Amino acid sequence: MNPQAKLISISSLFLGTTITISSNHWMMAWTGLEINTLAILPLISKPHHPRAIEAATKYFLVQAAASTLLLFSSTTNALFTGQWDVTQLTHPISCLLLTTAISIKLGLVPFH
């Protein structure tokens, strides 16, 4: 991998993590998570082996599904409570969907 491309990927990982941690709005948290997903894909598929490409494709599809679930959770919360703030997640359906989406993104036990 080109050293400049590797530097951009790694700096994008730090940027996405920083955006996600410091966000107060669901859309900014989602943006940070998506930056992380797109930054890690070239690093996963770096060896140019068919298994690495397959792993990157599977990773992308699972992360896209989890991101969709996260957006649906935040939209549902905004519909029921009128708040887009991260700290105002009070509706039980939204909490369940968000917990599921974050579990998928982290690769926790039932979703790994």
Residue 111 lies in a domain: no
Number of domains into which the chain is organized: 1
* Average pLDDT of the residues of the chain: 88
Range 91-111 average pLDDT? 87
Residue-wise pLDDT for 24-68, tens only, equals 888 888 899 899 999 998 888 888 888 999 999 999 999 999 999
Range of the domain at 79: 3-106
Residue 64 lies in a domain: yes
DSSP 5-72: HHHHHHHHHHHHHHHHHH--BHHHHHHHHHHHHHHHHHHHTTT--HHHHHHHHHHHHHHHHHHHHHHH
Is the model's pTM score more than 0.95? no
